Structure 1
Amino acid sequence: MLRSMFSAISGLRAHQTKMDVTSNNIANVNTVGFKSSQTVFQDTLSQVLRGGGQPAADRGGTNPAQVGLGTKLAGITTNWTQGATQSTGRSTDFMIEGDGFFVVQGPGGEQLFTRAGSFDFDANGNLVTPDGSILQGWVADANGVVNANGPVESLRVPYGAMVDPTATTAGSITGNVPSDVVDATSFQLGADMYDSQGVLQKVAYNFTKTGDNNWDVSVVHSDGTVLMAPTGIVFDAEGNLTTPAGPDFELAPFTPVGYPSWTNEVTMSLAGLTQFGGANTLAAPKPDGYALGSLQSFTLGNDGTIMGVYSNGLRQPLGQLALASFNNPSGLEKAGNSTFRVGDNSGVAMIGLAAQGGRGVLNAGALEMSNVDLSEEFTGLIVAQRGFQANSRVITASDEILQDLVNLKR
């Protein structure tokens, strides 16, 4: 049989594979996080008809005469370029901008990796993929602290979860009291505090000028009860606070009296308070402490932190998403459902925080679309079709030659 026929058969097989890969790319043109693939061909072993010869004194060297035996598939490579961004507005849609993969727990507890960031909640509050794989990360403790050095675990957002109230223990006053006002001038500043049971207590900070560079500060409840008796504070000639002493400029702690559910001390800091000529710019940043609350919603930061928003105004981390990177992403094995598993040539999964160690940043409310280029794929279809067609013509021509050979004897 003619070698050309078998070479053409290998060409048919190779171009059929190219058609398969191209058709799969086109089928996934709208698949979230899909990465297109390309086929790479290489020639097979060649038959040596005449070996090469070295140059001699009386003649030159000769090159080998070789006939190729066709083509074969060298590999199917993956295009890891970034896909287009599609804004969805869903808080559970996450997109990786840059390198990296989401870590999910698949069926049977297998650790898988994906670029598709379309997640939702299951009945237990877990963040899951459409096929039920659970998103992995680090869960925050009761104080909102995330330990990213520990093992990853399933992430969940416990909607409706209650957070216990916390009493106010510290407050602060900043800004400027005007130096060019007469003695006995007063300024008042309102603030909200919480007692040991989380009950809102409205208070006022009162400033009264008692002399040059001298003021009295007191804390009064909205019902008129004096919580902290007037305490003198002193500024120097340049308008800087000298009493109480720095660096924290804290007044002596006071314990509210007359309120059975308010048993803790409260410390007031005057750091940042000045006395310059001009307007009154006193401000009271919200003191610590909060009432009983329940989880209402969450937001995602670019570093993967899931920040819970509670009904009492508290914002506290619930957990942090984990991202994985690989030395050779092309060595990953496709596991279906837009996921990958560690392959023999991918290297180990390096799991860590977003925006660190070469891993990309996260974007909430958006998805990464497929990076398939239709114009390139349709061009690939034409190339595959013509390659298949040309190889089929070689088989036809080889068959006609064999027919002529058979017809030599009638």
Structure 2
Amino acid sequence: MMRSLWSAVSGLQTHQLEMDVIGNNIANVNTTSYKSQATGFQDVLYQTIKTGTAGNGVKGSTSADQVGLGAKMGSININITKPGSAQTTYNPFDLMITGDSFFVVSESQNSPNQEKYFTRDGSFTIDAEGSLVTQNNGLYVNFIEGEGILGNGEPLISDRTKTMAGQATSEAYLKGNIDRDDKQLVEGRTIQMDVYGNDGNVYTINFKLTDNADDEDNTYSVQIDKILDKNGNKISNTLNEKLTLTYDHANGRLTGITPYPIYTLDNGVQELDDDGNVLSTTYTMDGRMGQAEFSRTLTGKDGNQYTIYYSIDHHVPEEGEEETDTADYDFNVVYVRKGEGTRQYINKTMAVIDYDSESGNLLTIDGENAGEINVDLSEIYDGIGDITFDISNTTIPVAAGTSYRFEFNGEADVLGSLNVDFSNTSNYASSNGVHSSSVSAIRGDTYGLNKGYPNGDMNGITISDNGSIYAKYSNGQDVKLAQIVVAEFNNAMGLEKAGDNVYKASLNSGEPIYMDITEDGGYMSSGVLEASNVDLAKEFTDMITTQRGFQANSRVITTSDELLQVLKGLKR
């Protein structure tokens, strides 16, 4: 009799647990990406009243007689593989993930030993520091290392990503006809093109197309006539002031006011302290574009003189005549010569020249770059640069259907290199007696299909179906910042729920397998969230059966109690 009471009690307890699970499922019917749970019962111990016997030829075999001692909760499983329905939010940072994958989130951005959590809830947002985090608890979303310009844990919006540097135009395509009887070709017909520079500004290049009169093959020459900045000023004509530079022997820094180009250098004026030690040397240079070479003679302890030769070059910023900031420069040691002996070339970029002022011995010629300007020994011409040939003296033959590469340096290095393609030009004389050539850019200028672009400001972020995060810029460019990593498990149903819509790996789930979501055929949907997968019809049905089971077990208790009352009455 007591067995029935204890069995019924265990049944009540088990059905209570099942009702708790059902209640939790119904409570989370609208929880984003919630995965419902299902219970599994199992019996407990059995008391054997009579053991089973084997047959002996006289009697047959018999089964054992056992009485059960109730039920218990066998398992509470997560319906992890059943997807929830899609809910549109129109928030670009809300993501729905397909397949068996999970987003990877963590409490710290950069700690290598941080605990990882896993979630199907793609309710993400950008926090105050520009990082992609979960909306409900601020956990950081993890990225795939090496995908995009950002590392794992770096904020999406920062000083590094808010703006984008421009890129110089690298290709230009011209079309039109070069009339062989065009008289303007004698002096040179101008072809004008607006292009982008490395600094993101617009520059106008004027090409001059000239007839090679002595050539019987109807060929022409093209050369760069001038380059104009956005204000219409010729680059080489806007910079003609002087520059005063001061070289500090204490730290090897060369500083100056108004960073104009350099052409010549005087012998310098030295500043001495009370003991006769050199504090600094001031050099004055003219403002033409070019390289300057100057020297410093040191007397060694052995009485020999050592001369150190330097060269310096400068890239002039646009509207440099208005600049007043201090500019830093790099030194290159071109060579060191002992007395009147042979020059010894040293191929090193240096920032510090260290010598003993007492002994006069040269101690080191070493150091790292101290400034922003690198030495360029290429010949230049009026701020336009050379093209792979000398613009000042040479032109190149052009025939219809050809292309040429122009290389810029010096002032014009803001333009990088430019491929000019003449393959769409023809070479026919006019039939109406009006001889005029017409050649213009069809691609490569700022108004056509252009491989260059100006500076841009970030004006949006998008997330693709493979989890790649792109920054959109005002110059029309998209840059991949990062890619969201996902994780899969050999047994996802073995994950442990940790609250706040996240899971933790367990011994039963196995270790996470990190990957790109497309590796298993999955994808992400932006502006969509995964709803709860709770099925209310099933939950109500389970609630009914649970209620009936609970009532039946309580009935067992009352019936057993009545039987005990009957036994109690027999004593009267």
Matched, 1:253 2:397: no
Residues 217 and 28 (structure 1), Cα distance of their counterparts in 2 relative to 1, 3 Å cut: farther
After superposition, the C-alpha distances for 1:85-131 in whole angstroms (9 at most, x for unaligned) are 01111111111022211111138943111111111122111122221
The answer on whether the counterparts of 1:218 and 1:230 sit within 8 Å (CA) in structure 2 is yes
- How far 1:379 moved relative to its partner? 0.9
- How far 1:270 moved relative to its partner? 8.0
Measure, in 2, the Cα distance between the counterparts of 1:254 and 1:30: 63
How is 1:68-217 mapped onto 2 (pairs within 5 angstroms)?
Answer: 68-80=68-80, 81-106=82-107, 109-129=114-134, 130-138=136-144, 144-145=148-149, 153-154=152-153, 156-158=155-157, 161-168=161-168, 170-171=170-171, 173=173, 193-201=195-203
Between 47-56 and 216-225, report the one with greater CA deviation. 216-225
| Secondary structure of residue in 2 paired with 1:30 | coil
Residues 264 and 82 (structure 1), Cα distance of their counterparts in 2 relative to 1, 3 Å cut: same
Measure, in 1, the Cα distance between the counterparts of 2:425 and 2:52: 94
- How far 1:58 moved relative to its partner? 2.7
Measure, in 1, the Cα distance between the counterparts of 2:508 and 2:192: 64
The equivalent of 1:39 in structure 2 is: 39
Measure, in 1, the Cα distance between the counterparts of 2:181 and 2:55: 111
Matched, 1:55 2:55: yes
| Secondary structure of residue in 2 paired with 1:31 | coil
How is 1:4-403 mapped onto 2 (pairs within 5 angstroms)?
Answer: 4-80=4-80, 81-106=82-107, 109-129=114-134, 130-138=136-144, 144-145=148-149, 153-154=152-153, 156-158=155-157, 161-168=161-168, 170-171=170-171, 173=173, 193-201=195-203, 232=398, 251-255=404-408, 260=412, 262-268=414-420, 286-356=449-519, 358=520, 360-403=522-565
| Secondary structure of residue in 2 paired with 1:131 | coil
Residues 219 and 54 (structure 1), Cα distance of their counterparts in 2 relative to 1, 3 Å cut: farther
- How far 1:378 moved relative to its partner? 0.9
Residues 79 and 267 (structure 1), Cα distance of their counterparts in 2 relative to 1, 3 Å cut: same
After superposition, the C-alpha distances for 1:354-405 in whole angstroms (9 at most, x for unaligned) are 111x373111111001001111111111111111011000001011111111
Structure 1: 4+ residue segments shifted above 4 A = 144-147, 181-186, 188-192, 202-208, 214-225, 227-231, 268-271, 281-285
The answer on whether the counterparts of 2:168 and 2:414 sit within 8 Å (CA) in structure 1 is no
- How far 1:155 moved relative to its partner? 5.1
Structure 2 residues not aligned, in runs of 5+: 183-189, 235-383, 388-394, 427-440
- How far 1:48 moved relative to its partner? 1.3
Structure 1 residues not aligned, in runs of 5+: 148-152, 236-242, 245-250, 276-280
| Secondary structure of residue in 2 paired with 1:262 | helix
- How far 1:28 moved relative to its partner? 0.3
| Secondary structure of residue in 1 paired with 2:511 | coil
- Match of 2:487, as an amino acid? A
Between 30-39 and 110-119, report the one with greater CA deviation. 110-119
Measure, in 1, the Cα distance between the counterparts of 2:209 and 2:119: 59
Residues 263 and 168 (structure 1), Cα distance of their counterparts in 2 relative to 1, 3 Å cut: closer
TM-score of the aligned structures, taking structure 1 as reference length: 0.78
Q: How many percent of aligned residue pairs carry the same amino acid? A: 36
Residues 265 and 10 (structure 1), Cα distance of their counterparts in 2 relative to 1, 3 Å cut: same
Measure, in 2, the Cα distance between the counterparts of 1:190 and 1:262: 18
After superposition, the C-alpha distances for 1:198-224 in whole angstroms (9 at most, x for unaligned) are 20236699999x999x99999997979
Between 41-50 and 9-18, report the one with greater CA deviation. 41-50
Measure, in 2, the Cα distance between the counterparts of 1:369 and 1:41: 28
The answer on whether the counterparts of 1:155 and 1:319 sit within 8 Å (CA) in structure 2 is no
- How far 1:289 moved relative to its partner? 3.4
The answer on whether the counterparts of 1:193 and 1:200 sit within 8 Å (CA) in structure 2 is yes
Q: Give the count of matched residue pairs.
A: 377
- How far 1:318 moved relative to its partner? 1.1
Measure, in 2, the Cα distance between the counterparts of 1:40 and 1:382: 16
- Match of 1:111, as an amino acid? K
- Match of 2:155, as an amino acid? R
The answer on whether the counterparts of 1:323 and 1:351 sit within 8 Å (CA) in structure 2 is yes
Measure, in 1, the Cα distance between the counterparts of 2:192 and 2:56: 105
TM-score of the aligned structures, taking structure 2 as reference length: 0.58
Measure, in 2, the Cα distance between the counterparts of 1:337 and 1:74: 26
- Match of 1:103, as an amino acid? V
Measure, in 1, the Cα distance between the counterparts of 2:442 and 2:483: 37
Measure, in 2, the Cα distance between the counterparts of 1:190 and 1:45: 95
| Secondary structure of residue in 1 paired with 2:406 | coil
The answer on whether the counterparts of 1:138 and 1:146 sit within 8 Å (CA) in structure 2 is no
- How far 1:154 moved relative to its partner? 2.4
Measure, in 2, the Cα distance between the counterparts of 1:14 and 1:185: 103
The answer on whether the counterparts of 1:197 and 1:261 sit within 8 Å (CA) in structure 2 is no
Residues 372 and 191 (structure 1), Cα distance of their counterparts in 2 relative to 1, 3 Å cut: farther
